[in-house]
């Protein structure tokens, strides 16, 4: 996923989220029509077929990951495995062991979690400062963040890799600082947009109760910003988890690889293009993401909406 840019509109997130769940009167009006039921059934059927095409590519990968390497060629990708070509879980074992896939999985997981946590924490604090303090620093930070969202990664890829290398930020354990730096724009932008619309009275009351700014931030502000936190976290997670070029250039490739790098490495790093284990690893990569999505669907979709409408 590319980083996603936002716009400012006047709506608040709550409005949209409520609107998402509340069937509108317009729909009720439509229901009145007699033909509507039949038309809707036809639409359901058509969309059902489209949905099958939508999941087919994933299904195809799973099928092929169970075939023997020699049975995979350009014109047989649609065939189901037969008794002769069925490879069972051999590709999974092979892919996982040869590429040291589990450690890549671990690195990817660690990088994603640490980066997202760091981004959320630092950027929400920064955004609160920007939205509550009217200073040159605030303005400069805010406009720099907007600016950084437009800049394509190719613009900084070489110099960023070199900077990270010089500062030794080239391991999965501290690459989160790079991600914080490059991903700050979006997060600060989203948080600032939300916080500016938050009523300041609550905070002022807390101030009178003797809260310090830090206490106030963690006890008062953070709970209110929960929706934005979730949507930002989702957007950043999708970006970091799937990112290919940044870790390829920044990480110390002698020791560490992330999942997208591993997938790319199946193309010929060991003297061969290994389609079957590659597909097995793709399946291992996709399944947890899809499971996570199915469980957190509500938040993810609300997050997307909030991230798009607000900002």
Partner 1 sequence: MKKKLISILMSTAMISSILTGCGSSTSASGTAAANTEAGNASETSETADAGAGKVYYLNFKPEADEAWQKLAKEYTEETGVPVTVVTAASGEYETTLQSEMAKSDAPTLFQVNGPVGLKNWADYCYDLSDSEIYKNLTSEDYALKNEDGGVAGVAYVIESYGIITNKALLEKAGYSTDDIKSFADLKKVAEDITARKDELGFAAFASTGMDSSSDWRFKTHLANLPIYFEYQDDGITSTEAIKGTYLDNYKNIFDLYINNSTCEPKELSAKTADDARNEFLDGKAVFYQNGSWEYSSLSEKYSDDELAMLPIYIGVGDEAKQGLCTGTENYWCVNAEASEDDINATLAFMNWCVTSDAGTKSMANDMGFTIPFKTAQESPNVFVQQDQANTEAGLTPVSWNFTTMPSEEWKNNLGSALTAYAAGTGSWDDVKAAFVDNWATEYSLANE
Partner 2 sequence: MEKSVRRYWPIFVLPTLIAFTIGFLWPFVWGIYLSFCKFQTVNKVKFIGASNYLRVFSDNSFIHAFGFTALFTVVSTLTINILAFFIAMLLTRRIKGTNIFRTVFFMPNLIGGIVLGYIWQILLDCLLSMWGKPLLALDAKAGFMGLLILMSWQQIGYMMIIYIAGLQNVSPDLVEAAEIDGATPWQILTKVKIPMVMPSITICTFLTLTNSFKLFDQNLSLTGGEPAKASQMLALNIYETYYGRSGAQWKGIGQAKAVVFFLLVVVISLIQLRATRSKEVQA
Contact positions with partner 2 (CB under 8 A) in 46-75: 47-48, 51, 54-55, 57-58, 60-61, 64, 74-75
Using CB under 8 A, pick the residue from 192, 243, 257, 276 that binds partner 2.
Answer: 243
**Which residues have a Cβ under 8 Å from the Cβ of 133 and sit 6 or more positions away?**
none
Beta strands in 167-288 (DSSP E): none
The yes or no reply on residue 158 touching partner 1 (CB under 8 A) is yes
The residue written with tokens 């097995």 in the block is 280
Helix (H, G, I), strand (E, B) or coil at 138: helix
Q: How many residues bind partner 2 (CB under 8 A)?
A: 119
Contact 246, 205 (CB under 8 A): no
Using CB under 8 A, pick the residue from 119, 265, 278, 303 that binds partner 1.
Answer: 265
Helix (H, G, I), strand (E, B) or coil at 184: helix
Query: What is the sign, positive or negative, of the torsion defined by CA atoms of 140, 143, 145, 150?
Result: negative
Contact 172, 251 (CB under 8 A): yes
The yes or no reply on residue 254 touching partner 1 (CB under 8 A) is yes
Using CB under 8 A, pick the residue from 12, 16, 81, 117 that binds partner 2.
Answer: 16
The yes or no reply on residue 209 touching partner 1 (CB under 8 A) is no
The closest of 185, 174, 164, 166 to 111, measured between CA atoms, is: 174
Residue 6 touches which member of partner 1, partner 2, none, C-beta under 5-8 Å by kind: partner 2
Cα separation of 142 and 154, whole Å?
23
Whichever of 247 and 311 has its CB closer to partner 1, that residue is 247
Using CB under 8 A, pick the residue from 5, 244, 268, 291 that binds partner 1.
Answer: 268
Using CB under 8 A, pick the residue from 56, 143, 173, 218 that binds partner 1.
Answer: 173
Cα separation of 39 and 144, whole Å?
50
Q: CA 167, 259, 237: angle at the middle one, nearest 5?
A: 75
Interface pattern 73-112 for partner 1 (x via CB under 8 A) = xxx-------------------------------------
Interface pattern 205-224 for partner 2 (x via CB under 8 A) = --x----xxx--x-------
The residue written with tokens 């939300």 in the block is 194
The closest of 214, 191, 170, 220 to 311, measured between CA atoms, is: 191
Using CB under 8 A, pick the residue from 272, 286, 287, 292 that binds partner 1.
Answer: 272
Binding site for partner 1 (CB under 8 A): 70, 73-75, 118, 158, 161-162, 165-166, 168-174, 176-177, 212, 214, 248-249, 252-256, 264-265, 267-273
């Amino acid at each position: 996923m590319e980083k996603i840019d936002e716009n400012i509109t006047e709506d608040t997130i709550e409005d949209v989220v409520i609107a998402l769940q509340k069937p509108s009167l317009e729909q009720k009006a439509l229901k009145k029509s007699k033909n509507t039921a039949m038309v809707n059934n036809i639409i359901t059927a058509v969309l059902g077929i489209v949905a099958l095409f939508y999941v087919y590519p994933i299904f195809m990968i799973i099928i092929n990951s169970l075939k023997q390497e020699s049975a995979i060629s350009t014109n047989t990708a649609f065939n189901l495995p037969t008794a002769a070509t069925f490879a069972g879980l051999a590709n999974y074992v092979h892919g996982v062991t040869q590429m040291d896939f589990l450690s890549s999985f671990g690195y990817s997981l660690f990088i994603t979690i640490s980066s997202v946590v760091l981004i959320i924490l630092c950027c929400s604090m920064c955004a609160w400062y920007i939205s509550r303090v009217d200073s040159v620093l605030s303005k400069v930070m805010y406009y720099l963040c907007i600016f950084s969202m437009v800049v394509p990664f190719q613009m900084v890829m070489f110099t960023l890799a070199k900077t990270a290398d010089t500062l030794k930020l080239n391991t999965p354990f501290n690459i989160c600082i790079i991600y914080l730096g490059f991903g700050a724009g979006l997060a600060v932008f989203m948080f600032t947009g939300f916080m500016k619309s938050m009523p300041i009275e609550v905070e002022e009351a807390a101030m009178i109760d003797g809260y310090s700014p830090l206490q106030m931030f963690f006890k008062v502000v953070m709970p209110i910003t929960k929706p934005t936190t979730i949507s930002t976290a989702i957007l950043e997670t999708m970006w970091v988890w799937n990112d290919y070029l940044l870790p390829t250039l920044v990480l110390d490739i002698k020791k560490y690889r992330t999942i997208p790098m591993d997938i790319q490495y199946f193309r010929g790093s060991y003297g061969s293009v290994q389609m079957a284990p590659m597909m097995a690893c793709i399946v291992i990569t996709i399944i947890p993401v899809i499971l996570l999505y199915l469980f957190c669907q509500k938040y993810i979709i609300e997050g997307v909406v909030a991230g798009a409408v607000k900002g």
